[in-house]
Homo-oligomer: A and B are copies of this chain.
């Protein structure tokens, strides 16, 4: 319900300072009871997205505008994320190879070190600007067939879905780094330091870990938002 009202505010194009429709109007438009609507409005007030002014009504707060930029709690493919940000995305495949799982990859994917994997190194550019440098590792048997037969410029999430592995969640670790020296030199990336590094294990709907991703998001261009609660 809270999300429905937030979506309605976005749909109506309300910006900070704008007044919200009345509780009754919202209840009618959303087909819910007035008390349900009121409860959701209180939640939005408590989060600071709305301000109630005694005797006047509810208004979108200054914070209301910050809300939706890039919620870090939402899993989405890099391709989808960059397109949502309005970039014309190009994917350069820097390397794709059959390899053996490192200790970190194995631990994350629930396999053994040395097990066969596909390791995919790509650079996503938006409007020809390097935005995300990513290394994705997938257990070899999840994507069968010779690796040269596959177009690796497309979404890995979609390729896995085509084999029945639908990613529904991920466990991510967010840190700030300079790109490792060897990779920075090899791929001419060091001038774009620093990067927001998201190290992520992506989980399919049956609970199987299917991708271990280390995604370097260019710090000057990409940020995430999050609502935190005590």
Chain B residues positioned under 8 Å from A67 (CB to CB) = 171
The reply to whether A169 and B230 form a contact with Cβ atoms under 8 Å apart is yes
> Which one of A7-15, A124-132, A134-142, A188-196 is at the interface?
A188-196
Q: Is A90 on the interface with B (CB-CB < 8 A)?
A: no
Q: How far is A224 from B197 in the complex, measured between Cα atoms in Å?
A: 11
Number of chain A interface residues as a range:
35 or more
Decide yes or no whether A51 CB sits under 8 A from chain B: yes
With A169-B229, A194-B193 in contact, is A219–B175 under 8 Å at CB?
yes
Instruction: Give the copy number.
Output: 2
Whether the Cβ atoms of B169 and A74 lie closer than 8 Å is no
Chain B nearest CB, measured from A86 CB (Å)? 18
Contact B171 A194 (CB under 8 A): no
**Contact: B194 with A107, CB < 8 Å?**
no
Are A226 and B61 neighbours in the complex by a CB distance under 8 Å? no
Return the contact of A48 from the options B69, B178, B207, B228 (Cβ within 8 A): B207
**Interface contact B207-A73, CB-CB below 8 Å:** no
Q: Which residues of B contact A50 (CB under 8 A)?
A: 207
Q: Which residues of chain B are within 8 angstroms of A66 by Cβ–Cβ distance?
A: 171, 173, 201
**Complex contact A171–B63 (CB within 8 A):** yes
Looking at the assembled complex, report how far the CB atom of A106 sits from the nearest CB atom of chain B, in whole angstroms. Answer: 8
Task: Assess whether A173 is in contact with B224, with CB atoms less than 8 Å apart.
Answer: yes
Give residues of chain A (34-56) contacting chain B, Cβ–Cβ below 8 Å: 45-48, 50-52
Q: Which residue of chain B has the shortest Cβ distance to A222 in the bound complex?
A: B175
Roughly how many angstroms separate A45 CA and B52 CA in the complex, as a whole number?
41
Chain B residues within an 8 Å CB radius of A74: 228-230
Is the CB of A183 closer than 8 A to any CB of chain B?
no
B228 touches A170 (CB 8 A): yes
Give Cα distance in the complex from A51 to B208, angstroms: 8
- Contact check, B171 vs A196: say whether CB atoms are below 8 A apart: no
Check if A85 is an interface residue, CB within 8 A of chain B. no
Chain B residues within an 8 Å CB radius of A195? 176, 194
Q: Which residues of A approach B to under 8 Å, CB–CB?
A: 45-48, 50-52, 61-63, 66-67, 69, 72-76, 107-110, 167-178, 193-197, 200-201, 203, 205-209, 217, 219, 222-230
